[in-house]
Amino acid sequence: MLLPPDPILAAFTLQKARVAERRRSFGLAERRAVLDKLAAAIRANEAALVEACAEDLGRPEAETILIEYLTVLQDIRHARRHLRRWMRPRRVAPTLASFGSSARIEAQPRGVCLVIAPWNLPFALAMGPVVSALAAGNAVILKPSELTPATSALMARLVAQTLPPDLCTVIEGDKAVAEQLLALPFDHIFFTGSPAVGKIVMAAAAKNLTSVTLELGGKSPVIVGEGADLDRAADWITFGKFLNAGQVCIAPDHLFVHTSVKDQFLQALRARIAKAYGTAATSPHLGRIVSDSHATRLADLLADAVAKGARPVLDNGSNGRAMGPVLVEAITPEMRLDQEEIFGPILPILPYDDLGQVIDRINARDKPLALYIFDRDRARIDRIVGETTSGGVGINLTLVQFNHANLPFGGSIPRASGRGMGCTAFAPSAMNAQCCGTGFWRCP
């Protein structure tokens, strides 16, 4: 579907014309009021959100509440609480060359932002960046994914009823609409999606010297060491891998397990999966693959691996877009399963004896968005963290580093430390509306 350019250009022109006025009038009170209105609208549409995500992704209610609804409300609450401090000018000490003068740093809005959202968390990964942009004083045009039409329509209706179009507008459509939007001179673009499309977004932004935030996927590894609490590891890996049917950008992609604990761990993992999801692909507690084409892709990945010698050790089968958890062994580098981001409920198991070889294998690939370590040996944990680079590290847990409001997301690991939420969180405190850097959680 190719929309005529006039509505897109009209929405952009309306927001662009208000940039100067917004910088003068969109202060702390006004931003808080907008966040409050948005939070109230989201609460009023809780049931509609659950229904939309069930229609688009076959997702159970508890998952939608956890990873969509509560996530965005937390973003709003966090932004509102810290907004005064974020907006406050920061004085800086003079240098020798500027002795006798005074200086300060004052944050200003970028202007008009474009958010291009993905389909896997169609509400949280759309509204989260919108909240950040609004908190920072910007106007926003949101382009949701066309693969989740029910959630996209809900957001369009919610935003239109809550916020003025010169501040926030939702424009629905397919790839052609995204291309029309990318041709416009936005002040900032926030894109969540695949590395291949991320390159297209960055190239389009470069033509207008537009700054970008790219949140891209990757093959996030898990290491289960010989000192791991195997029951705990099975619990967290089941949660992290099969939430939203594995369609989460920071979900475990493949699993390195020390040979001394592999058999015992696989027994614990199979038992935990059976307890959570049963033995049928159509479990009501397991989400569905977003489309027939994505389901076919996952089936092809598995068939390619089996044809080249892989062995499924757990396979609950599939039924259309319903695909049960799959555990598969004997993975080799020539298999597509080892080369491509899986983004589904298939988990390759790779036994290891030499931790150095695992580290070398991780470093030979593109930097992962997340790395998960299960072990109780501090020296081994420190070695892995010190010799690898990733967007975030979870130690004896999965996924929840994304929901830590004081940890940045993406980038490379810093060396600061602090305490938070019962875990040791290693990262500088970061402004939600202007995140940079990364961090990792260590559970006690």
Distance of CA 368 to the CA centre of its chain: 13
Please tell me the predicted confidence (pLDDT) of residue 410. 60
Residue 83, token pair as written in the block:
């907004």
Q: Which of 214, 294, 284, 283 is nearest to 247 (CA)?
A: 294
Please tell me the predicted confidence (pLDDT) of residue 411. 54
Please tell me the predicted confidence (pLDDT) of residue 280. 81
Please tell me the predicted confidence (pLDDT) of residue 425. 27
Q: Which of 374, 370, 416 is nearest to 395 (CA)?
A: 374
The DSSP secondary-structure symbol of 437 reads S
Q: Which of 148, 116, 122, 146 is nearest to 67 (CA)?
A: 122
> For residue 410, is it left (φ>0), alpha (ψ between -120 and 50) or beta?
left
Please tell me the predicted confidence (pLDDT) of residue 438. 30
- Which CATH superfamily includes the segment(s) 5-91+105-216? Aldehyde Dehydrogenase; Chain A, domain 1 (3.40.605.10)
Active-site residue flag, 334: no
How many Å apart are CA 348 and CA 133, to the nearest integer?
A: 38
The residue type at 187: D
Active-site residue flag, 215: yes
Buried b (16+ CB within 10 A) or exposed e, 49-61: bbbbbbebbbbbb
Buried b (16+ CB within 10 A) or exposed e, 231-245: eebbbbbbbbbbbbb
Cα distances from 346 to residues 27, 251, 368, 419, in angstroms, run 48, 11, 18, 34
Please tell me the predicted confidence (pLDDT) of residue 432. 30
Residue 152 φ then ψ, to 5°: -60, -45
Residue 286 φ then ψ, to 5°: -115, 130
Please tell me the predicted confidence (pLDDT) of residue 69. 97
How many Å apart are CA 159 and CA 169, to the nearest integer?
A: 7
Beta bridge partners of 314: 327
Beta strand ranges found along 355-430 (DSSP E): 371-374, 392-395, 418-420, 423-426
Residue 98 φ then ψ, to 5°: -115, 20
Please tell me the predicted confidence (pLDDT) of residue 404. 80
Q: What is the pLDDT along the chain (444 residues), one digit of tens a residue?
A: 555 558 999 999 999 999 999 988 999 999 999 999 999 999 999 999 999 999 999 999 999 999 999 999 999 999 999 999 999 999 999 998 988 899 999 989 999 999 999 999 999 999 999 999 999 999 999 999 999 999 999 999 999 999 999 999 999 999 999 999 999 999 999 999 988 899 999 999 999 999 999 988 889 999 999 999 999 999 999 999 999 999 999 999 999 999 999 999 999 999 999 999 998 888 999 999 999 999 999 999 999 999 999 999 999 888 899 999 999 999 999 999 999 999 999 999 999 999 999 999 999 998 899 999 999 999 999 999 999 999 889 999 999 888 787 777 665 443 322 222 222 222 222 223 332 223 334 433
Cα distances from 224 to residues 259, 349, 361, in angstroms, run 10, 10, 15
Q: Which helix (H) or strand (E) holds 60?
A: none
Q: Which of 215, 329, 341, 423 is the catalytic position?
A: 215
Listed as own residue / partner, the contacts of 103-109 with beta carbons closer than 8 Å and 24 or more positions apart are 107/136, 107/434, 108/23, 108/137, 109/19, 109/22, 109/23, 109/26, 109/136, 109/137, 109/138
222-274 residue pLDDT tens: 999 999 999 999 999 999 999 999 999 999 999 999 999 999 999 999 999 99
- Which CATH superfamily includes the segment(s) 221-442? Aldehyde Dehydrogenase; Chain A, domain 2 (3.40.309.10)
Cα distances from 324 to residues 272, 276, 343, 357, in angstroms, run 14, 11, 13, 31
Q: Which of 132, 130, 124, 175 is nearest to 151 (CA)?
A: 124
Report H helices in 164-255: 175-182, 195-207, 230-242
Please tell me the predicted confidence (pLDDT) of residue 5. 58
Please tell me the predicted confidence (pLDDT) of residue 100. 87
How many Å apart are CA 336 and CA 307, to the nearest integer?
A: 11
3-state SS class at 126: helix
Residues 6+ apart with CB under 8 A from 10: none
Residues 6+ apart with CB under 8 A from 381: 373, 375, 395, 442
Please tell me the predicted confidence (pLDDT) of residue 279. 85
User: What residue spans define the domains of the chain?
Assistant: 5-91+105-216, 221-442
366-415 residue pLDDT tens: 889 999 999 999 999 999 999 999 988 999 999 988 878 777 766 544 33
Q: Which of 113, 168, 249, 423 is the catalytic position?
A: 249
Q: Which of 38, 33, 17 is nearest to 130 (CA)?
A: 38
Beta bridge partners of 112: 139
The residue type at 260: S
